[in-house]
Structures are given as C-alpha cells and as structure tokens.
Amino acid sequence: MAGSTDDQEFCLREVLDVFKSCLTENKEVVIDNYVAGWRGLVRFMNSLGSVFSFISKDAVSKIQVMVNYRNGKNGEQYATIQSMVTYELESELVDLAKRGSFPESGCRTLLRLHRALRWLQLFLERLRTSAADSKTSVMCADAYNESLAQHHPWIVRKAAGVAFCALPGRATFFEVMNVGPPEQVVAMLGDALPLISEVYQVTEDLYAKHNLLNLP
Ligand SMILES: CCCCCCCC/C=C\CCCCCCCC(=O)N[C@@H](COP(=O)(O)O)[C@H](O)/C=C/CCCCCCCCCCCCC
C-alpha cells in the first residue's frame, strides 16, 4: 500500500493484497507487510464509526509496539516473524509463563494480532459465502466467538458484542469495501482468503513449534 494516505479512497482489495505480500519464498512472514495490512484494516474499521474506537486503539497500540521494534536498534532481528521468534527466545526477551520483565515482547504482541487474524479469516469466509440477507453483525459475532472471544475477559466480550450490533448491513458493508459489485467482492475474498489463511497457518505452526501459543 505504498503511497496510500488517509485522504485516498479506501479499497479493501489493496489492504488484503498487502497481507498476500507478507510471505517470502521461504514462507517467512515479513513484519512490515503484516503490520501494514493491519494498519489498513484499522483504517477500514475506523470508517465504520466511533463505536469501534476501543478496538482500534488496542490494535493501533499493538501495531505501534511492532513498528517500534522495527525502528529500534535491533530492527533487523524483527524483519520476519521467524527471525523475531529466534532472536527474542535466544536473548530471553519473552515472558513465557507469567507477565514479568517483558510485558510487551514482540512475540507476545504479535500473538494478539495473530489471534485476531484468525477472527478475520473466519469473518471473511462467512462474508464470502453469505446470502444477500445475511447479517454482518451475526457473522462477525460468530467468527469472534469461535476465535478471539476465548482469549478475552467477560467485559471485553460484552463490549465487542455491543460494537458488532453497530455494523452496517451486508450491502452497505460491501459498498464501504469499495471493491465493486457484490460478485466482485465475493471473487476478491475468494482470491485473498487462501493467502491470508497461509500467513495464519505459518505463524500458528511456528508459535506451536516453540510452545508460544499461550504467552501471558
Ligand atoms: C471485509 C471485511 C473487512 C474486515 C475489516 C476488519 C477490520 C478489523 C480491524 C481491526 C481488527 C481489530 C483487531 C483487534 C486486535 C485485538 C487484539 C486483542 O485481542 N487484544 C486484547 C488482549 O490484549 P492484551 O490485554 O493481552 O494486551 C485486548 O484486551 C482487546 C481489547 C479490545 C477489544 C478487541 C475486540 C476484538 C474484536 C475484533 C473484531 C473487530 C470487528 C470489526 C468489524 C469490522
């Protein structure tokens, strides 16, 4: 999304393309692209109204943690998720069992975004296969309950549930995506989903291999 600014018209296809560009030939996940993908999604969410701002704030703060690592003195170690995991584990920079000296490690912060990517994958798949009269709020809530909700306390689940009710109907939602008529949206989702799923799975496997899926 190079050159994209807040003044430009939003197009979800561009955002999903950024996620598609996350994987290198060696199946490493490039953090700059991963973070740029999330930035674009947050922009989309902000355009849906201020009821989502508590979600957006949390996502932005996690994105910023990752950007700070990339811009810091060890930025090269944070080029990909794989290099970050190796570096932080070898340097003992991750709180593995309980929160302590490294409450905002890269591994822990990225895990929160990774779990949200699972929600996105489930939501997009529901949207792709939905009928014209399906409710986005229900699709969003179902995807959330199947993924992120399991990691959130009651109060966050309640607030998220309220926010989902403010989602526009499917037709308006598709319009805001600015991709074209519904059949083009569905085709675009069909294109993007396998690659988003691959990014998710590569990260999931990496975290599972290092026993990092439950970082506090
Ligand atoms: C065609 C479809 C386009 C979809 C566009 C979706 C745009 C979504 C953009 C951003 C999604 C937000 C990602 C949220 C990351 C949440 C990370 C998280 O789990 N944080 C919690 C735990 O953090 P720690 O306390 O451990 O540091 C934190 O407690 C969360 C607080 C905020 C509430 C998060 C609710 C997440 C709901 C996700 C659904 C967003 C619905 C958007 C609807 C378009």
Residues lining ligand 1, CB < 6 A?
Answer: 12, 41-42, 44-45, 48, 52, 54-55, 58-59, 112, 115-116, 119, 124, 127, 140, 144, 148, 151-152, 156, 160, 167, 177
Q: What angle do CA 86, 88, 92 make, to 5 degrees?
A: 115
How confident is residue 1, by pLDDT bands cut at 50, 70 and 90?
A: very low
- Angstrom distance (rounded) from CA 22 to CA 205: 16
How confident is residue 12, by pLDDT bands cut at 50, 70 and 90?
A: confident
Any idea where the domains of the chain sit in the sequence? 12-209
Bridge partners of residue 80, in order along the sequence: 30
Instruction: Locate the ligand 1 atom nearest the alpha carbon of residue 115 and give its number.
Output: 19
- Angstrom distance (rounded) from CA 215 to CA 112: 9
How confident is residue 9, by pLDDT bands cut at 50, 70 and 90?
A: low
- Nearest CA residue ID for atom 39, ligand 1: 144
Tens digit of pLDDT for each residue in 121-144? 999 999 999 999 999 999 999 999
- Nearest CA residue ID for atom 34, ligand 1: 55
CATH fold of 12-209, please?
Glycolipid transfer protein, GLTP (1.10.3520)
User: Is the interface score ipTM higher than 0.95?
Assistant: yes
CA atoms within 13 A on the CB side of 122: 18
Tens digit of pLDDT for each residue in 94-122? 999 999 999 999 999 999 999 999 999 99
